[in-house]
């Protein structure tokens, strides 16, 4: 039976049982050697599924996004370990392919959450981080469509949602900073402009984990010609080149209406200094500004 055919209550029960067993065997489980940390609506699911097909990579047991370092940190390290494969499975891959198996997860909110980078650096020393960046105007528009489709956004008009964003997010970043256990629905789901201001969050992540442990990829390049991008990822992670997976675009949400010219112009102007900062940080012009 396909996982999407399993009724949601049954799926939750199975996940709870798996996590309970996982806690009991936490000491025998892997921790991730790399993470996909965002950005949201930038192709993270597509890259996750491509990497999950690599013969020496073991994906998270239950689902791709564990969201430990952002919204579930209070659950503790054993809860986190419960989501990953047993170490003996990685050892089996060493026998088969001559390199140890690696495991990973993908939680796009890690890039934006104010505590995630420091938590990752503290709990997963040496971990490698992959981040995808995309035209922030298109990212914001796609983000809004995604939240509407999931029922997390009650304002169907994108322009109006942009107008609401400053009010919704007022004081939320500071509240999260001041209270490590706090949660903000608006900060996670309604930061349409905020989550496209990439340079500031890349710098914060680099300060915590080290610039050499960070790989920043262009979503546009990945979708147009995925093989060279995938090769860069394999080299970065030290994975043997064992052929290519099936590359598919996941979670795409076509919009029935084109983005209004006025809204596009306003967003393009808003993101101009952030894109300039990103160019300086990367040492190259982002694909959407080329």
What pLDDT sits at residue 88?
Answer: 87
What pLDDT sits at residue 100?
Answer: 84
What pLDDT sits at residue 99?
Answer: 85
Q: Which residues of the chain have pLDDT under 50?
A: 1-4, 6, 8-18, 21
3-289 is classed CATH 3.40.50.300: yes
What pLDDT sits at residue 15?
Answer: 45
Number of residues assigned to the chain: 290
What pLDDT sits at residue 60?
Answer: 86
CA distances from 231 to 13, 26, 75 (A): 38, 32, 36
Residue 57, C-beta contacts closer than 8 angstroms, at least 6 positions apart: 51, 101, 102, 103, 104, 239
Residue 216: which H helix or E strand, with range?
strand 214-218
């Amino acid at each position: 039976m396909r996982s999407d055919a399993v009724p949601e209550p049954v799926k939750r029960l199975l996940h709870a049982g798996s996590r309970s067993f996982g806690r009991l065997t936490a000491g025998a489980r892997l921790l991730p050697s790399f993470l996909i940390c965002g950005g949201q609506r930038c192709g993270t699911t597509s890259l996750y599924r491509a990497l999950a097909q690599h013969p020496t990579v073991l994906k998270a047991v239950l689902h791709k996004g564990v969201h430990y370092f952002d919204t579930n940190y209070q659950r503790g390290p054993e809860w986190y370990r419960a989501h990953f494969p047993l170490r003996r499975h990685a050892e089996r891959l060493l026998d088969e392919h001559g390199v140890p198996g690696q495991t990973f997860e993908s939680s796009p909110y890690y890039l934006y959450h104010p505590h995630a980078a420091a938590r990752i650096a503290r709990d997963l020393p040496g971990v490698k981080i992959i981040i995808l960046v995309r035209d922030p105007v298109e990212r914001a528009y796609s983000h809004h469509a995604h939240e509407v489709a999931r029922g997390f956004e009650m304002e169907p008009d994108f322009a109006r949602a942009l107008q609401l964003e400053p009010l919704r997010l007022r004081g939320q970043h500071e509240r999260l900073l001041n209270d490590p256990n706090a949660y903000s629905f608006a900060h996670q789901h309604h930061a349409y402009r905020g989550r496209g201001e990439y340079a500031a969050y890349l710098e914060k992540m680099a300060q915590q984990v080290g610039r050499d442990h960070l790989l920043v990829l262009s979503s546009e390049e990945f979708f147009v010609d995925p093989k060279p991008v995938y090769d860069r990822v394999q080299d970065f992670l030290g994975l043997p080149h064992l052929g290519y997976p099936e590359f598919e675009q996941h979670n795409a949400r076509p919009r029935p209406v084109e983005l209004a010219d006025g809204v596009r112009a306003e967003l393009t102007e808003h993101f101009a200094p952030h894109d300039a900062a990103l160019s300086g940080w990367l040492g190259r012009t982002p694909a959407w500004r080329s």
